[in-house]
Amino acid sequence: MQDRPAQPPATADLRALALRIAATRRRSLELAQPLTAEDMTAQAMDDASPTKWHLAHTTWFFETFVLAPHLPGYRIFDPSFNYCFNSYYETQGPRQPRPRRGLMTRPSVARVMDYRAHVDEALSLLLTGGLEQQTLELVELGLQHEQQHQELILTDILALFAANPTRPAYRADGRVSAERPRTGSDTVGWIGFDGGIAEIGTNAGGFCWDNERPPHRVFLEPFRLADRLVSNGEWLAFIADGGYVNAELWLSDGWAMVNANDWRAPLYWEVRDGAWHHMTLAGLLPVDPTEPVSHISYYEAEAFARWAGARLPTEFEWEFAAKGVPVTGDGAALAPRAAGATNGQLRQMYGEVWQWTGSAYLPYPGYRAPAGAIGEYNGKFMVSQHVLRGSSCATPERHARATYRNFFYPHQRWQFTGLRLASEV
Amino acid sequence: MQDRPAQPPATADLRALALRIAATRRRSLELAQPLTAEDMTAQAMDDASPTKWHLAHTTWFFETFVLAPHLPGYRIFDPSFNYCFNSYYETQGPRQPRPRRGLMTRPSVARVMDYRAHVDEALSLLLTGGLEQQTLELVELGLQHEQQHQELILTDILALFAANPTRPAYRADGRVSAERPRTGSDTVGWIGFDGGIAEIGTNAGGFCWDNERPPHRVFLEPFRLADRLVSNGEWLAFIADGGYVNAELWLSDGWAMVNANDWRAPLYWEVRDGAWHHMTLAGLLPVDPTEPVSHISYYEAEAFARWAGARLPTEFEWEFAAKGVPVTGDGAALAPRAAGATNGQLRQMYGEVWQWTGSAYLPYPGYRAPAGAIGEYNGKFMVSQHVLRGSSCATPERHARATYRNFFYPHQRWQFTGLRLASEV
Amino acid sequence: MQDRPAQPPATADLRALALRIAATRRRSLELAQPLTAEDMTAQAMDDASPTKWHLAHTTWFFETFVLAPHLPGYRIFDPSFNYCFNSYYETQGPRQPRPRRGLMTRPSVARVMDYRAHVDEALSLLLTGGLEQQTLELVELGLQHEQQHQELILTDILALFAANPTRPAYRADGRVSAERPRTGSDTVGWIGFDGGIAEIGTNAGGFCWDNERPPHRVFLEPFRLADRLVSNGEWLAFIADGGYVNAELWLSDGWAMVNANDWRAPLYWEVRDGAWHHMTLAGLLPVDPTEPVSHISYYEAEAFARWAGARLPTEFEWEFAAKGVPVTGDGAALAPRAAGATNGQLRQMYGEVWQWTGSAYLPYPGYRAPAGAIGEYNGKFMVSQHVLRGSSCATPERHARATYRNFFYPHQRWQFTGLRLASEV
Amino acid sequence: MQDRPAQPPATADLRALALRIAATRRRSLELAQPLTAEDMTAQAMDDASPTKWHLAHTTWFFETFVLAPHLPGYRIFDPSFNYCFNSYYETQGPRQPRPRRGLMTRPSVARVMDYRAHVDEALSLLLTGGLEQQTLELVELGLQHEQQHQELILTDILALFAANPTRPAYRADGRVSAERPRTGSDTVGWIGFDGGIAEIGTNAGGFCWDNERPPHRVFLEPFRLADRLVSNGEWLAFIADGGYVNAELWLSDGWAMVNANDWRAPLYWEVRDGAWHHMTLAGLLPVDPTEPVSHISYYEAEAFARWAGARLPTEFEWEFAAKGVPVTGDGAALAPRAAGATNGQLRQMYGEVWQWTGSAYLPYPGYRAPAGAIGEYNGKFMVSQHVLRGSSCATPERHARATYRNFFYPHQRWQFTGLRLASEV
């Protein structure tokens, strides 16, 4: 979330903002387009949420934090929605327990669509009169928030369809990887960095979350980064070499998880006709060895790195290395893609899979959570999770940057999560 | 399930059977009519199932046990449905885990409707050619099975809507109790029975489940039965007298359950505006003291009886007393109704709430489960459950009789379950 | 527990009573003699209790229900013991949670021995002055209660030593089976019974528990009983025939238990050097095929009976058949013994293993739990358990009779539990 | 664990080493001296271990890693002990499951004492012949390891006695706090530090664990540290101000923990006669407001800091500030003590309670776990835990230093854990 910048944005940008609002809101509906009302209502597991809930919750966010306080005369669409669609904001009162979001067959998808239209209209009205800086920032926050949930819509639908015995495809045309050149993708190059005092986080004019701030200095020893992500082919070698049965490779908690849950491969992998397949947004497909491995836990990433004689980068090394690397990805790929030929540069930094780092998710020095409900957005999750950097094939366009900090628990696997190796020089 | 009767049913009854099939199958769809596709897909809890699943499973039952083996040339509608819609038949192979039925957003409701039409058509065809006795019996079994699931559709939807923060009504007109006379319903009469050797179970010509057989003799001491069900008003007195906080009233397991789950009233009861309300198929309504108490566990029934200085009847006492009492109820009431005036007869024996008995659900002497998959229908559940007798407001017409044995675990409460008191003479 | 008999026992029996008290109390100490203080303190699992706790709890029982109310001037040994050693008497106030009994390293064994001496002395004093009938009955109750715990001391120590990696022997000389003749034990004879109206339970002068009363009539169809217990040899055949992997043999709950816990044999069985061994009070020994199978759950007993084409007897059949069979066993055998030669009579009715029956543990018609704390002894457990009849190798002398009802949950296996087959004629 | 230093220790130090070995081994027995064999056998909870197990495990450590590989002709005392007393070394084979350590009533305490004597004698013999550098380091490791378990003996006994209804004292004279001056202890002073590039970790000649290495640089912004620990008095104010009922103060995971476990105060606190008491090694005592708060989780520490308008220090700030502060504490205090008067210096840095830091427990840059079983000592726990710095009242003498990294999960409370506040300048 954004601090108050010194200069308010020019009001001439309001029209551009209106277009962004419309595009972002429309994008959520596009993502839901291949889904039936039934698909949009079910909840794959406690960590995931129904598409309908995502569509309503993002709308509730605008209503609660932007419209209700800042648009005079705004009418709350339905007072019961605060209970239904509040996610975790203690300051906003009680809410439907997270594991029971999938039980809300009412309100219907149709009514949630009405809710969205009601709020869209009010947002248009809000912009008509010009905006104060604080309100502008809240609108921006709402847009960024909705984009985060666009990614979750995809990962949560994948979890749902993977739990379906018929393994349906979200979009049968969702796999674009085949079009990519694969030559040379097996060669890993290593890029060296000198380290020293690095500037981490940001204070720049554009939007950033509160957890990316304040900017501060860290000291880095020299390090190296692999120029591409770890591939499925390399993961198959890890499996073949006993990666999942050799205790010495694993953190103690990871080893307990492997055995308690009988992990033998990444999430969504299964053997069919004697060959590894994996569930994707395009349905069940053979595992392509050239594609980046995805849907692995931190434990698995960490064990793989040890097996490979390397380690995970810290989030600071990653950010330091990412300065100057152009951001790619538009959230339309639906699956991570092969690396393509080595080019002496860091490849696959964005737009394929989130990259586990060895860094725990903790506040930056001097971090203060913002006041009020918005302060619950990031700060209260700063324990027991690990930072992931980059962005994934499901991350919306313009929602990735070098300072972005994603975070999940070490056991979680349902996001598009992979890894890039690092090492000392 | 039915043994082979000595006399095959007259083939002249085939037209009547066709009409019954059509009516029964149509009734399932009528029950689903107030529901959206979203409603029909969600699963309230592990014990309950989605409406869509009930509609498909009953159809799968006909397909698997009647059509596939007995209609030459029958085409399986979709081979994946055996996995999706097998409930618990080990002999039919693996199946979608019960707690994950609600994740099957595909096949869609529309496709399940096509499935039903496909099977309905095949059933018509099957009857065209005349039927062997064994096939006729399997058709009968399929009808009875579907009727059981009709009751579950209602109880499971109630569980779903009770979990919905907006407490929607399944049918706003679902409460017919107000039309009933309430005069005199507070007076409990006691009917005495002499006991002696009683004939239990049945060998009669009509349909019965395997667990109602073989007919056999039991010895009964003289006993008395209350002439009506325990009412909400009496339950309120139990609560007010500390029923839920006095350990001495409870079985040890029941007391543990009360404390672990903080039970303070029947399931679906909640205080609103200082008064007890309960969730019903007509939505959230004030508790009517004249109606029978419902949605109680065996533990609660047993504790109440102790508090009242009485006991639960055995299933044999109940059956003995029920001989000659006309069966009532048509599954359309949607809520149990007040008793009406005392008439010197047993009232409310059927059509209001299932009545917990003190009898464990065990095989009758000489019981043998039928061969094959059908043998899994009842026999394998004969441990740790208690028998309930009568029928409920959700039980379909002609699906109740004096020998019928329903059964649930002592902690279960989501069915329409209540009690009638008994005592020694 | 005993109702008030018409005639009070002769006071001339007081000396005999004093001798019985001394012998019973001494027997508990004898059972503890092979154990260290460490052994006596640990708790193998939630269902089991430490030996020290048994020694103290039985003493607390006398103190609380006999001495405190009936011996004027009796001094409570230590007021904190009521919390420490109350088992489950809600009327006696809060208590150490059952799963945490093994944490009470204090009071020490030595102090518990002092407690026993204190109470023994007071019991002597109590008898000095003559006793009222009610007090006499409570003393009798205390003795019977202590005898029940003597059996538990043995089964709980077996559970503890079985959990010890070194598999220590409780008594290396504990196995007497080898001395028994084994000829002919493989032949099962079947004894037929006519059935009819049977008198069940007792009203006789001797002691009985409240759950054996009131005496009443049941109707029995003709039946047959195997003349001996099922043997380990037969159980090995069950295993070899896929008994633990064939779903069709099992109750649904049992099948779930088998798979959740990976049951492949009775409790305490393990393969060593390619052969089945089992942990016994004499240590780890090869499984002897002539001995009765023990440490099986109800689920296993029931599945075995189905596999064998038979069934379990009801508790009423068992009791009916046992009338006139002499009671044997003295609690010193420590392990069940081979049947010996067929003799045309029922063998192994007592003194080997408790025999699962097909009867749920429920109150007899007209049963009323006694008033006060003693009323919690049996009645509040009358749900979800099954009755076992006979007695085991660990049952104290004179603590077995035809009407005795033992009861455990269907999944429990740590007692000496086995089975005898029954069938229709 | 120690890397290979450039210079081997002078062999002239062998006599001093022999004395240290004797003193350290004797110290473990002294700690067990107030305990009965029963006390030494029980396990308070899964996280804790029996005293007997600690005594045996530390001995097994010497036997397995020092004597067996490095003393020619050494006889393994008992081969079964490897299973019994291996803690978590996967490379050493299977072991008694951690939650079942308390079931090992055999081997007895007496036999474990024999084991200790056997190993002590062999250690003497080992030193007789002179030692290679590698062996010397393993002996040192064994001593440090045993000292860690000496602290655990105390914390685990406290957990055991706190679970005892009689709340026994480990040592009635264990509370020395009252002798300390309390004047001025309520005043918190703040000490400022400039930050900059700090050297963290150590490469010095003395012993250190592998997780303290390699030494490396971090960049610190200016910061301030409180000159003393947070006191019970301050914690009482936190409670009184709704600290445990105000969601806004808590991390999300912490708030879930508070509510799931009904936390309302630190572990071991309870209200007696209307006043807060807490269980200590000297028994149940009134909470002394001048003493440091102890037995709090990371969640509580973090919430308190937020409530106080401060934060926790990072482990790097703590270490930076601790340079030059003399190490105090001898493991004999048994309870943390009041701070005494402000003196312009950092007080209570050692010897009272471990101090939660805001730093996750992660490897230092360039960290490599040592080869072999010893490599499992620290490295495999480097996820999901937080670092604590300083030392506690139970930490043995000479076992504390500025670079020492202790670590526990955020919810754990049974150690002597407290906090010191920090803030930006």
Q: Following DSSP, what letter does each residue of A205-226 receive, concatenated?
A: SS---GGG-S-EEEEE--EEEE
Residue C302: its chain B contacts at CB < 8 A?
A: 383
* pLDDT score of A414 more than 80: yes
Q: Tell me the pLDDT band of C395, cut-offs 50, 70 and 90.
A: very high
Q: What is the pLDDT of residues D111-141, one digit of tens each?
A: 999 999 999 999 999 999 788 999 999 999 9
Q: Tell me the pLDDT band of C177, cut-offs 50, 70 and 90.
A: very low
* pLDDT score of C2 more than 60: no
Give the per-residue pLDDT at C5: 45
The pTM is what?
0.95
Distance, CA of C160 to CA of D142 (rounded, Å):
32
More confident of the two residues A330 and C32: C32
Which residue of B223, B380, B381 is the best one to mutate when testing the C interface, meaning the one whose CB has the most C CBs within 10 A?
B380
Question: Nearest 5°: phi and psi at C311?
Answer: -150, 175
Q: Closest by alpha carbon to A142, among A162, A159, A122, A170?
A: A122
Indicate yes or no: CB of B105 within 8 angstroms of CB of A42: yes
Q: DSSP letters along A294-347, please?
A: -S--HHHHHHHHHHTT-BPPPHHHHHHHHTTPPP---S---S-----S--SS--
Dihedral-angle region of residue D20 (phi above 0 means left; psi in -120 to 50 means alpha; beta otherwise): alpha
* pLDDT score of C7 more than 90: no
Burial B326-339 (b: 16+ CB within 10 A, else e): ebebebebbbbbbb
Interface residues from chain D to A (CB-CB < 8 Å): 88, 90-91, 197, 216-219, 221, 247-248, 250-255, 298-299, 302, 314, 358-360, 362-363, 365-366, 380-384, 386, 410, 424
Average pLDDT over residues D215-225: 96
Residue B250: its chain C contacts at CB < 8 A?
A: 380
- Tell me D46's DSSP state: T
The count of C-alpha atoms lying within 13 angstroms of the C-alpha of C144, restricted to the half-sphere facing its C-beta, is 19
Minimum distance, in Å, between the CA of residue A245 and any CA atom of chain B: 27
Nearest to B360 among C253, C298, C360 (CB): C360
Give the per-residue pLDDT at B174: 56
Minimum distance, in Å, between the CA of residue A16 and any CA atom of chain D: 36
Q: Is A355 helix (H, G, I), strand (E, B) or coil?
A: strand
The two beta strands, B354-360 and B417-418, are parallel
With contact defined as beta carbons under 8 Å apart, do A56 and A41 qualify?
no
Q: Tell me the pLDDT band of A31, cut-offs 50, 70 and 90.
A: very high
Indicate yes or no: CB of C165 within 8 angstroms of CB of D102: no
A-B Cβ pairs (cutoff 8 Å, strict): 83
Give the per-residue pLDDT at D182: 46
Angle at D306 between CA D303 and CA D308, to 5 degrees: 110
Distance, CA of D180 to CA of D228 (rounded, Å):
15
Helix axes D51-62, D133-162, angle to 10 degrees: 170
Indicate yes or no: CB of D165 within 8 angstroms of CB of C109: no
Which residue of A49, A78, A106, A161 is the best one to mutate when testing the B interface, meaning the one whose CB has the most B CBs within 10 A?
A106
Percent of chain D, pLDDT > 90? 83
Beta carbons within 8 Å of D276's beta carbon, 6+ residues apart? D236, D265, D269, D270, D286, D287
Beta carbons within 8 Å of B229's beta carbon, 6+ residues apart? B292, B293, B336, B339, B348, B352, B353, B355, B418, B419, B420
Distance, CA of A78 to CA of A201 (rounded, Å):
39
Distance, CA of B18 to CA of C39 (rounded, Å):
72
Distance, CA of C142 to CA of C62 (rounded, Å):
6
- Are C and A neighbours with ≥3 CB pairs closer than 8 A? no
Give the per-residue pLDDT at D308: 97
Q: Is A285 helix (H, G, I), strand (E, B) or coil?
A: strand
Q: Tell me the pLDDT band of C205, cut-offs 50, 70 and 90.
A: confident
The count of C-alpha atoms lying within 13 angstroms of the C-alpha of C351, restricted to the half-sphere facing its C-beta, is 17
More confident of the two residues D370 and C250: C250
**DSSP H helices in A63-203:** 68-70, 81-85, 109-128, 133-162
Minimum distance, in Å, between the CA of residue C161 and any CA atom of chain D: 8
Average pLDDT over residues C136-161: 97
CA-nearest residue to B384 within chain C is C384
Percent of chain A, pLDDT > 70? 94
- Are A and D neighbours with ≥3 CB pairs closer than 8 A? yes
Average pLDDT over residues B65-92: 96
**DSSP H helices in D90-132:** 109-128
With contact defined as beta carbons under 8 Å apart, do B337 and B180 qualify?
yes
Interface residues from chain B to A (CB-CB < 8 Å): 36-42, 44, 52, 80, 83-84, 96, 100, 102-109, 160-161, 163-166, 168
Task: Write the CA distances from D389 to A343, D293, D294, D369, D417, integer angstroms.
Answer: 46, 15, 14, 21, 10
Give the per-residue pLDDT at B226: 98
Q: Closest by alpha carbon to A314, among A388, A249, A252?
A: A388
Nearest to A104 among B37, B102, B164 (CB): B164
Give the per-residue pLDDT at A400: 93
Give the per-residue pLDDT at D205: 74
Residue B160: its chain A contacts at CB < 8 A?
A: 103, 105
CA-nearest residue to D371 within chain A is A248
- Are B and A neighbours with ≥3 CB pairs closer than 8 A? yes
Distance, CA of C413 to CA of C268 (rounded, Å):
9
Distance, CA of B63 to CA of B76 (rounded, Å):
7
Give the per-residue pLDDT at A183: 46
Indicate yes or no: CB of A38 within 8 angstroms of CB of B41: yes
* pLDDT score of A24 more than 80: yes
If you compute the radius of gyration of chain D from its CA atoms, what whole number of angstroms results? Answer: 22
* pLDDT score of B248 more than 90: yes
H-run or E-run covering D62: helix D51-62
Q: Which residue has the tokens 């046990």?
A: B65
Minimum distance, in Å, between the CA of residue B360 and any CA atom of chain C: 6
Give the per-residue pLDDT at D172: 82
Give the per-residue pLDDT at C319: 98
Average pLDDT over residues D227-248: 97
Indicate yes or no: CB of B105 within 8 angstroms of CB of A80: no
Beta carbons within 8 Å of C355's beta carbon, 6+ residues apart? C229, C313, C318, C388, C389, C390, C417, C418, C419, C420
Minimum distance, in Å, between the CA of residue D373 and any CA atom of chain A: 9
* pLDDT score of A7 more than 90: no
H-run or E-run covering A74: none
Q: What is the pLDDT of residues A343-365, one digit of tens each?
A: 889 999 999 999 999 999 999 99
Residue B62 token pair: 């006909």
CA-nearest residue to D78 within chain C is C166
Distance, CA of D247 to CA of D125 (rounded, Å):
60
- Tell me A185's DSSP state: T
Indicate yes or no: CB of C36 within 8 angstroms of CB of D105: yes
Average pLDDT over residues D284-312: 97
Residue B119 token pair: 């099977």
Indicate yes or no: CB of D96 within 8 angstroms of CB of C37: no
Q: Tell me the pLDDT band of B371, cut-offs 50, 70 and 90.
A: confident
Distance, CA of C101 to CA of C83 (rounded, Å):
11
Q: Tell me the pLDDT band of A371, cut-offs 50, 70 and 90.
A: confident
Minimum distance, in Å, between the CA of residue D382 and any CA atom of chain A: 7
Burial C269-292 (b: 16+ CB within 10 A, else e): beeeeeebbbbbbbbbbebbbbbb
Minimum distance, in Å, between the CA of residue B244 and any CA atom of chain C: 14
Residue B410: its chain C contacts at CB < 8 A?
A: 383-384
Interface residues from chain D to C (CB-CB < 8 Å): 36-42, 44, 52, 80, 83-84, 96, 100, 102-109, 160-161, 163-166, 168
For chain A, the chains sharing at least 3 beta-carbon pairs closer than 8 angstroms are B, D
**DSSP H helices in B33-130:** 37-41, 51-62, 68-70, 81-85, 109-128
Alpha-carbon dihedral D7, D13, D17, D19, rounded to 10 degrees: -160
Average pLDDT, chain D: 93
Question: Nearest 5°: phi and psi at A95?
Answer: -155, 165
For chain D, the chains sharing at least 3 beta-carbon pairs closer than 8 angstroms are A, C
* pLDDT score of A115 more than 60: yes
Give the per-residue pLDDT at C11: 58
Distance, CA of C418 to CA of C357 (rounded, Å):
10
Q: Closest by alpha carbon to D293, among D245, D350, D252, D353?
A: D353
Distance, CA of C175 to CA of C335 (rounded, Å):
6
Indicate yes or no: CB of B381 within 8 angstroms of CB of C255: no
Minimum distance, in Å, between the CA of residue D67 and any CA atom of chain C: 23
Indicate yes or no: CB of D103 within 8 angstroms of CB of C39: no
For chain C, the chains sharing at least 3 beta-carbon pairs closer than 8 angstroms are B, D
CA-nearest residue to A385 within chain D is D384
Indicate yes or no: CB of B102 within 8 angstroms of CB of A102: yes
Q: What is the pLDDT of residues D303-358, one digit of tens each?
A: 999 999 999 999 999 999 999 999 988 888 889 999 988 888 999 999 999 999 99
Indicate yes or no: CB of A250 within 8 angstroms of CB of D381: no
The sign one gets for the Cα dihedral A288, A290, A296, A300 is: positive
Indicate yes or no: CB of B298 within 8 angstroms of CB of C251: no
**Cross-strand bridge partners of residue B216:** B200
* pLDDT score of D180 more than 90: no
Distance, CA of C174 to CA of C37 (rounded, Å):
21
Indicate yes or no: CB of D248 within 8 angstroms of CB of A90: yes
Indicate yes or no: CB of B37 within 8 angstroms of CB of A36: yes
Minimum distance, in Å, between the CA of residue A99 and any CA atom of chain D: 14
Distance, CA of C18 to CA of D154 (rounded, Å):
47
Q: DSSP letters along B311-368, please?
A: BPPPHHHHHHHHTTPPP---S---S-----S--SS---SSSB-EEEEEEE--PPTT--
Minimum distance, in Å, between the CA of residue A257 and any CA atom of chain B: 22
Residue D196: its chain A contacts at CB < 8 A?
A: none
Minimum distance, in Å, between the CA of residue D47 and any CA atom of chain C: 14
Distance, CA of B1 to CA of B369 (rounded, Å):
9
CA-nearest residue to D314 within chain A is A365
* pLDDT score of A5 more than 50: no
The sign one gets for the Cα dihedral D50, D56, D60, D62 is: positive
